[in-house]
Each structure stands twice: as C-alpha cells, then as structure tokens.
Chains A and B, each alone.
Chain A
Amino acid sequence: DTSDKSIALSNNYAGNSWRQAMLTSWETVTGPAVENGIVAAADAFTTAENQVTEQAAQIQNLILQGYDAIVINAASPTGLNGAVREACDAGIVVVSFDGVVTEPCAWRIAVDFHQMGSDQIAYLAERLPDGGNLLEIRGLAGVFVDDEISAGIHAGVEEHPQFEIAGSVHGDWAQDVSQRAVAGILPSLPEIVGVVTQGGDGYGAAQAFAATDREMPIIVMGNRHDELTWWKEQKDANGYETMSVSIAPGVSTLAFWVAQQVLDGAEVPKDLTVPFLRIDQDNLEENLANTQEGGVANVEYTLEDAQDVIAEAQ
C-alpha cells in the first residue's frame, strides 16, 4: 500500500516540446493516481536552468521536503551522484529515466542511446545498400546524450563501411541552429544520401535542403509533430520514405509506476530498459493522428505496462 507515500519528479529542463510533453504526461497519469489514493502526492519540479548544480540543489531540497521517492530526469549521468547518494542514505527511493544516473543505489530506466544511433545507420543500410555520404547533426557539445548517440552512429558506420560521414555539425537540438549549421556546410559537401540526427533537428535539415537544388536525402526524423507532418506531406506528394525515432516523453509515467512499485515492496531490478518509440512508413498516419499539434509523438504507461516491463527484466 502506497497511499501515504509521496513521489516527486526532478526535471532539469523544460525548454523544448519533448520536455513539455513529458511534464504533461506526468500530470495526466499521476493526477488520477493521486485522486484514486494510489499515492499521496506526485509533484513535478523543474530547475530554472539546465545545470547539474541546480538539479543537485533541487534534489537536496526534495530530500528535505520528505518525499518517499524521487523520479529524476538527470542533467548528467554522474554529476548528480553526490545528491542521489544523499537521498538513498535518507531512505528515499530514487528512479532515474531518460537521463539516467550511474549511482548504484538508484534505479535506471534507460534508453540505449548508443543503439538509437546505430539503428539509424542500420535502417539507412537497408534502404541504401550502395551506401554513400552522410551528414550528421549532433546536439549540444559537452552533453552525454550527444556523445552517446554520436558514438552509436559512428559505430554503425564502422559496421557499414559503404557509408561515410562527410560532414558533422552541432545543431544544439534546436531547429534554427540546425538549419543554420546545415545550410552553412551544405554547399561544401558532396552529394548527401542520408542525414542522421538526434531528435528535433530533422525539420530544420529538411528546410535547409529544400532551400538548395539538391535532391532530398533520407532524413531520419525525431518524432516531432512538424517533422511527421512534413514527412506526411512528402510521402503524399512523392512517396518519400524515411523513419523516425525518439524516446517517448511518456517514459516519465513509467518511471512513476516503477517508483510506486518499489515503494510498494515489489522486487524490481535496478536496470530496466525501454524501447524507443519508432515510427515507420506504414504507421506514420496513425502516429501523426495521435500526436498533439506542435508536440511530440508519445506513449503513456499504465501500472500494468510497468509491471510487464519489470517482469520482463527479471
């Protein structure tokens, strides 16, 4: 019984549509849970700026406020270990997701970002057996997700030597920055057959290509509504084919249920994995219909889904 337990969400960034969708999902799922007395409280906290130090302070405050469990989307896999350790020492259940922490006392709901990168190449290899030149759009320098996905992409290219990464730019996971960086490097690049991305930058890349007289390459998308809409338009117009992959913002609700299960005394392994949310040519329309205008394709989890994930890991 967890009806007297309270759970907090510690979030480090709210400045893009993915995070906003994540917060919305949290509200949609935890609201009824609190109402139905499953837990006593489930509050969300976001730091003012995307900084490890701020999130560490926030976690310390949550410890002080006496939450029984803290669900974390971490700014850094290692930078919060000090604060997480303190929480564990205070007897608090810590569950991290999306941005997971390495501190052993915490639970991790991990997404294999490395695989997210290599899967993109695998898909391209399927579509373009002859290979060719690729353009890589990276995220924000110095952040681990960027490093992980990029490492996955490079590993994929090693596995499929018919591909070569002809250019690599930092798009900072921002539409306008990606668009500018791609437009700047594009004139100097040879023919590009595919663009590998990290999420949120596919539409910017498409715009940059559209502004030139180049042929539109296969741009891997990141589940944003505008990306899917563009893809749909292209698909209807000329049968454009690609894939889209990203982690579903609703994974925050999975983390919520996992925390609830741990509090309930369930035996939960420390490491859980969630699949990414992948959209393909055939389920594009369906996903597009389910995606909020201007938002991100999403999946929300129920208690049963969570129990399934836990059972699978055991």
Chain B
Amino acid sequence: MSLRPSVDAMRLVVPTLALTALLAAVFWLQPRAMSYMGLNLLFNLAVPIALATLAQMFILAVNNLDLSIGAFVSFAACVSATFLQSTPLIGVLILLAAIAAYAAIGAVIHLRNLPSIVVTLGMSFVWTGLAVLLLPAPGGSPPDWARSLMTTKPPLVPMAIVASVIIALIAHLIVTRSSLGVLIRGVGGNERSVERAGWSVLWAKTAAYALAGTFAVAAGIALVGLTTSADANIALRYTLLSIAGVILGGGEFVGGRVSPVGAVIGALTLTLAASFLSFMRISPDWQIGAQGAILIIVLALRLFLNRLERQEGRA
C-alpha cells in the first residue's frame, strides 16, 4: 500500500485552503492587514469563537448537538465580568458548578435517551435567564489577568495567532492523543463497540459534555477579556458559529468524525469571512444574506470534499 496522507490530514485540506484563499483575498483588498497589528485585529475576536467551536466539537463528537453553547458562553462571560472579577473564589465555584451542570445534562441525555437538540434548546433559555438575572444591563469588568492575557503583545507573532495555535494544540492533544479523546470519538463512531470493550459510554458522554463546558467557560472568559464587559446576549451568535465552525473544519454531524485543528481553522475562517465581507463593502441590506451564502458555499465545498474522499477510497 502506498504512503498516503492520513485521513486526518486530508480532512484539513479544504479548511486550510479556504482560510488561505480568504486571507490572500483580504491582504489583496487591504494590504495594511499584512502586519503584526493587522493580523491581531483580524483574528483576536476569533479566539473565543474558536474555544466555543471546540466546545461544540466535543458534543458533535458523541453525535449530539448543542443549541445552548451561545447562551452558556454568555452566562460564563457574565459570571466572569462580575463574580470572577470581584470575588474570584465564588466566581470559580459558580463556573465549576456550571461545568458540572453541563456534564449532568450530558448524563441525563444519555440515560433517558433524550433528543439533545430539545434539551439544550431548553437549557439555552435557562442560561440566558440566569445571565439576565446576573447582569440586567451590560456591564461588569474583566478580571485583570484575563484582560492582560488577551492584550499581551508577544514578540514577532500577535497574541491572536499564538492563542489560536496553543488552543488548537491543547485540543488536539485531548482529542486525538489522549485515551479520553479516543474514547469520546469511539462513542461517536460505534457506541456498541466501545461498550463491548468494557468502557462506560455514560462516562464518556459525561466527560464530553464536561469538556465542552470547560471550553465554553474559557470562551466566556476570553470574550470578557477582549470586550471588557459582558451582557446577557453577548455570545448568542456563538451557537450557530460554533456549529458552522466545526462543519467548516471538516467535522461531521454524526460518526465521531471531528478535527480540533480543523475546528479552530473553521472558526478563524468564519471570522475572516465576516471581515472579508466588510472589506468588500457589500450593501448593508445584503450583509446578513452574504453570511448565509458563504456558509452554503463552504458546506457545498464539504460535499465536494466528501465525494473526492469517497472516490479515493474506491480507487
């Protein structure tokens, strides 16, 4: 058998190409972006999106779908901008409890065989409600460490890029290198086979939800570090962005086929696509529609990639 790039690498080809092409187009439209500051401005808001995307990826890895990520990140952001800043201990406890709640939801969904879409839809109301109770109007301020972390200026490469690489690396280690990651993806691929090897599927799913909760909390903190304040609706968009990011990065809705590096690339691509649209000066009327169109185009690309992959598999 010939040496051929691993499927993981194959999966990254289209997302990487899309990102490179977009970046080239942005540089062409706006040469100023080709600088330390330019790259940072282009990508720093992608960091929380990347974290939220990874959170969604863990849920998709076990064949579930989470419609509450955005609401949960908003909630985490509100906690970070209030308790975590003023009384760190209580803040940490609240965030830990929230992660535990996330894990518990995963367990309940598995035990009662509930549709994850509806349960997380319900939870999205709950998280938003809690966030509104916490911050009826926008406000709060980030913990100092979060603010300085998000605004450090490392030499040579801007923080946004450094952070993205580090996040991708950590997620890669968890998902493709660690035993837990293998187990979680195994549950997505063939639950029965994992069960037959003596693992607890319940535990694997709970762990996946807990990891998702953890990454979503990190997204909330990073977001507050960037925006300097929070509100109850601050990240509602992340639900959609995160799903799109995972799919864009070569992940699939079922079958445990996910790629953390791809997911981060997907998040960067989405952010860049928005900038691209604004550099294109599309008429404000069509700016929303253009987002939908870009999503459709990229998903069509994915279909094309799958066809290619299948053909190669047959050859």
Within 8 Å by CB, do A and B touch in the complex? yes
B275:A147 contact, CB within 8 angstroms: no
Q: What are 6 residue pairs bridging A and B, where the CB atoms are less than 8 Å apart in the complex?
A: A23-B284, A51-B237, A58-B278, A61-B275, A64-B38, A82-B151
Q: Find A49's partner among B42, B141, B227, B288 (CB 8 Å cutoff).
A: B288
Closest-by-CB residue of B relative to A19 is B284
Known: A43-B281, A58-B278, A64-B32. A76 touches B287 (CB 8 A): no
A189 within 8 A of B: no
Whole-angstrom distance between the Cβ of A20 and the nearest chain B Cβ: 10
Query: B281 — which chain A residues lie within 8 A by C-beta?
Result: 43
Q: Using CB atoms and an 8 Å cutoff, list the residues of chain B in contact with chain A.
A: 30, 32-33, 37-38, 41-42, 44-45, 48-49, 128, 131-132, 135-141, 151, 223, 226-237, 271, 274-275, 278-279, 281, 284, 287-288, 290-291
| A81-B228 contact, Cβ under 8 Å, with A60-B42, A64-B41 | yes
Residues in A with CB closer than 8 Å to B151 are 82
Contact yes or no, B287 A52, CB < 8 A: no
Q: Please give, as numbers and ranges, the residues of chain A lying within 8 Å of B236 by CB-CB distance.
A: 51
Q: In this complex, what residue of A is CB-closest to B136? A: A147
A10 to chain B, nearest CB (A): 10
Neighbour of A56 across the interface among B131, B135, B226, B290, CB < 8 A: B226
How far is A60 from B236 in the complex, measured between Cα atoms in Å? 20
Set of chain A residues within 8 Å of B41, measured between Cβ atoms: 60-61, 63-64, 86
Among the listed A49, A61, A81, which residue makes an inter-chain contact with B278, where contact means beta carbons less than 8 Å apart? A61
Q: Is A141 an interface residue (CB 8 A)?
A: yes
Q: Give the Cβ gap from A80 to chain B, nearest Cβ, in Å.
A: 7
| A79 in contact with B231 (CB, 8 Å) | yes
Beyond contacts A79-B227, A81-B229, A140-B233: 8 other A-B pairs, Cβ-Cβ < 8 A, are A51-B236, A53-B45, A53-B223, A60-B44, A64-B33, A79-B231, A142-B131, A142-B138
Cα A141 to Cα B130 with chains together (Å): 12
Q: CB-CB < 8 A to A47: which residues of B? A: 287
Please give me the residue from chain B that is nearest to A145 by CB atom: B137
Bitwise, A33-47 to B at CB < 8 A (1) or not (0) is: 000000000011111
Nearest chain A CB to B166 CB, angstrom units: 20
A29 to B68, CA, bound (A): 43
Q: Which of A53, A54, A62, A66 has the most CB of B within 10 A?
A: A53
B230 shortest CB reach to chain A, Å? 7
Shortest CB distance B149–A (Å): 13
Closest to A144 in B: B137
A78 touches B228 (CB 8 A): yes
Residues of B within 8 A of A52 (CB): 138, 227, 231, 234
Q: Within the complex, which residue of B48, B140, B228, B233 is in contact with A143, where a contact is CB–CB below 8 Å?
A: B233
Question: Any chain B CB within 8 A of the CB of A277?
Answer: no
Task: Tell which of A53, A57, A82 touches B234, judged by Cβ atoms closer than 8 Å.
Answer: A53
Q: Are B275 and A79 in contact (CB under 8 A)?
A: no
**B240 to chain A: closest residue by CB:** A49
B285–chain A nearest beta-carbon distance, Å? 8
The answer to whether A146 and B32 have CB atoms under 8 Å apart is no
User: Which residues from A are CB-within-8-Å of B38?
Assistant: 64
Complex Cα gap A79–B44 (Å): 15
Contacts of B223 in A (CB 8 A): 53
Q: How far apart sit A86 and B42, CA to CA, in the bound complex (Å)?
A: 12
- What is the bound-complex CA distance between A34 and B49, given in angstroms? 37
Q: Which of A61, A62, A63 has the most CB of B within 10 A?
A: A61
Q: Which residues of A contact B139 (CB under 8 A)?
A: 77-78, 144
The CA of A147 and the CA of B232, in the complex, are separated in Å by 13
A90 to B49, CA, bound (A): 25
For window 134-189 of chain A, which residues contact chain B by CB distance below 8 Å? 140-144, 146-148
Flag whether A128 is at the interface (Cβ < 8 A).
no
Q: Are B279 and A143 in contact (CB under 8 A)?
A: no
A76 in contact with B138 given A64-B32, A142-B132 (CB within 8 Å): yes
Contact A48–B288 (Cβ < 8 Å)? yes
Give bound CA distance, A146 to B21, whole Å.
43
Task: Say yes or no: A65 contacts B237, CB within 8 Å.
Answer: no
List 5 A-B pairs, minimum CB-CB distance, nearest first.
Answer: A78-B229, A142-B232, A147-B137, A46-B284, A60-B41
A216 at interface by CB-CB < 8 Å: no
Instruction: Collect the chain A residues with CB atoms within 8 Å of residue B229's CB.
Output: 76, 78-79, 81
Closest Cβ of chain A to B54, distance in Å, is 17
Q: Does A105 contact B (CB under 8 A)?
A: no
| Complex Cα–Cα for A268 and B50 (A) | 41
Residue on A nearest B236 in the bound complex, by CB: A51
Which of B230, B279, B290 is within 8 Å of A79, CB to CB?
A: B230
A12 to chain B, nearest CB (A): 11
C-alpha spacing A146/B223, complex, angstroms: 23
Say how far B60's CB is from chain A's closest CB, in angstroms: 22
Measured CB to CB, the closest approach of chain B to A195, in angstroms, equals: 22
| A303 lies within 8 A of chain B by Cβ | no
A143 touches B138 (CB 8 A): yes
Cα A78 to Cα B224 in complex, Å, equals: 11
A21 → B minimal CB distance (Å):
14
- Check B132–A65 contact: CB distance below 8 A: no
Q: Are A48 and B30 in contact (CB under 8 A)?
A: no
Task: Decide: A44 and B226 in contact? CB cutoff 8 A.
Answer: no
A52, B73: Cα distance in complex, Å: 13
Contacts of B32 in A (CB 8 A): 64-66
- Answer whether residue A14 sits at the interface, using C-beta atoms and an 8 A cutoff: yes
Given the complex, which residues of A lie within 8 Å of B237, measured CB to CB?
49, 51, 53-54
Q: How far is the CA of A143 from the CA of B44 in the complex (A)?
A: 24
Task: Give the residue among B140, B236, B237, B290 with the most A Cβ atoms within 10 A.
Answer: B237
**In the complex, chain B residues whose CB is within 8 Å of the CB of A54:** 237, 274
Across-interface contacts of A66 in B (CB, < 8 A): 32
Q: How far is the CA of A43 from the CA of B131 in the complex (A)?
A: 35
